[in-house]
Amino acid sequence: MPAMRDASVDRELVRLVGVLLLGAMAALIDTTVVSVALGDLAKVFGVDVSVVQWASTGYLLAMVAVIPLLGPLVDRFGTRRLWLGTISVFLTGSVLCSTAWSIESLIVFRVVQGLGAGLILPLVQAILAQAAGPQRIGRVMGLVGIPGQLAPVLGPVVGGLIVGSLGWRWIFLVNVPICGAALLLAGRNLESPGTTPTSRGSLLKTRSLVVGALLVFLSGACLYAPMLLTPLFFQQVRGYDVEQVGLLLAPQGIGLMVSLWFTGRWADRSGPRVVAAFGALMLALGVVTLALGARAPLSVLLTALVCMGIGLGGIGIGASAASYRDVPSGSIPRAAALVSVVQRAGASAGTVTAALVLQSGSFVRAYGWVLALIGVSGAVVWFLPSGAAGGSRSDAMREAADVDCRC
């Protein structure tokens, strides 16, 4: 597919987004869909839930371990063949999981599935960043982010329906038609732009990528720390039960999805700095309200969650747009791998630190730590590029227009 250099998000690019997200949704939902079946799996295989949990842990560890291989694999095979191969590995792992005869075999097959899933999401970002170019990267990343926010909500729901009606093996077999359709559509619509192998050290000389990756790390921590704290806040401080908390957290997801939609367009028009700065302010407002909201009206707390969602979207889009903005087209796959690893590291650091602070202190102290983290993010924001992407990358975009379909 020829690279598209105009600023509009045309039908061809939207179709490409749809083709890639079909495969991505299977991997995203599968991250959480198994969680509802842990009890059933423990009974079927006659082991404790703590042992069955390794079916999820092994999947996640395999996802993280394979990400650094993205750049070399794209250099070797091209994005089209790697996408088809990655979906095929995920599909094979899904089928194998459905045939598991013991907990040991299930864990091994989940690792196979995770090796495929780990490359899917960064590969989606790499392909779309190459196709969109710097003028449209914000809107494209916004479109990609919306399904990512729906997956954690849909996963347990879908898993519960499948386990209750068809049994645990169909949690994995349901991926077969989805992956089959993804392979068929990708074979018809996806081509590989040429890539120019680039060392990781060379990428780190790109200032916008370095600053964007640092902000990705911080935004990952800012996202996952409140994800740990907020449900506990509503349960332990405000006295709501688990079922109610799930509904109470919905405004944050709604705010995030809305934010991903409009901040992507805003970042393309005005540059990533102003969008990320707006996101930091909104996120800080929401966190301060929760930190001081032990006796606040519920409507105030729900508004704070909306602000947090909008803020997280703004920071995330600003960081993503900056990360890919000045990277040569052929080096984007390696940049996507770097961004994905950094994001997961930030999420882990945020979760662990928030848990430690809460254990040794109070919710006010824990949210205060998140607020300090937002302050650091706000300082980093001022080093992001300002203004819309101009013509400085015209040569790189012309390079992307020369299609090298490595079939």
Residue after which a domain boundary falls, among 189, 224, 246: 189
For residues 36 and 337, what is the distance between their CA atoms, to the nearest angstrom? 30
Q: Which pLDDT belongs to residue 71? A: 85
Do 182 and 204 lie in one domain? The reply is no
Q: Left (φ > 0), alpha (ψ -120 to 50) or beta: where does 170 sit?
A: alpha
The string over 307-340, giving b where at least 16 C-beta atoms fall within 10 Å of a residue's C-beta and e elsewhere, is bbbbbbbbbbbbbbbbbbbbbbbbbbbbbbbbbb
174 assigned to some structural domain: yes
CATH assignment of the domain containing 269: 1.20.1250.20
Do 176 and 224 lie in a common domain?
A: no
Angle (CA) 67-68-71 rounded to 5° is: 100
Residue 3 lies in a domain: no
Q: Choose one of 147, 169, 189: the last residue of a domain.
A: 189
Q: At what angle do helices 272-291 and 207-232 cross, to 10 degrees?
A: 20
The total domain count for the chain is 2
* pLDDT for residue 390: 60
In 3D space, the residue among 270, 280, 254 whose CA is nearest the CA of residue 321 turns out to be 270
The reported pLDDT for the residue numbered 199 is 55
- The per-residue pLDDT for range 323-332, each reduced to its tens digit, is 888 888 778 8
Mark whether 166 and 51 lie in a shared domain: yes
Q: Is residue 241 situated within a structural domain? A: yes
Q: Is residue 154 a part of any domain in this protein?
A: yes
Cα 188 from chain centre: 26
Crossing angle of helices 11-33/137-165, nearest 10°?
Answer: 40
Domain that holds residue 214: 200-396
Residues 255 and 211 in one domain: yes
pTM of the predicted structure, to 2 decimals:
0.77
- Rg over alpha carbons for the chain, rounded to the nearest Å, is 21
Q: Is 161 inside any structural domain? A: yes
- 147 and 228 belong to one structural domain: no
Cβ-contact 213, 323 below 8 angstroms: yes
Structure tokens at 400: 């992307």
Same domain assignment for residues 35 and 73: yes
Q: Same structural domain for residues 334 and 292?
A: yes
> Same domain, yes or no, for 228 and 325?
yes
Three-class secondary structure of residue 213 per DSSP:
helix
Domain shared by 20 and 132, yes or no = yes
What's the confidence (pLDDT) of residue 150?
67
Q: Give yes or no: residues 145 and 67 share one domain.
A: yes
Percentage, residues of the chain above pLDDT 90:
28
Roughly how many angstroms between the first and final C-alpha of the chain, as a whole number? 13
152 and 205 both lie in a single domain? no
CA atoms lying within 13 Å on the CB side of residue 83: 35
Q: How far is the C-alpha of 139 from the C-alpha of 50, rounded, in Å? A: 41
Q: Which one-letter amino acid corresponds to residue 23?
A: G
For 290-318, give the DSSP string: HHT-TTS-HHHHHHHHHHHHHHHHHHHHH
Interior/surface letters 347-367, b for 16+ CB within 10 angstroms, e for the rest: bebbbebbeebbeeeebeebb
Taking 50 as the pLDDT cut, the residues of the chain under it are: 1-6, 391-407
Within a domain: 1: no
pLDDT of residue 194: 52
Length, in residues, of the chain: 407
> Which of the listed residues 144, 169, 189 is the one where a domain comes to its end?
189
Looking at residue 123, what DSSP letter applies?
Answer: H
> Which residues lie closer than 8 Å to 49 by C-beta, 6 or more apart?
38, 39, 42
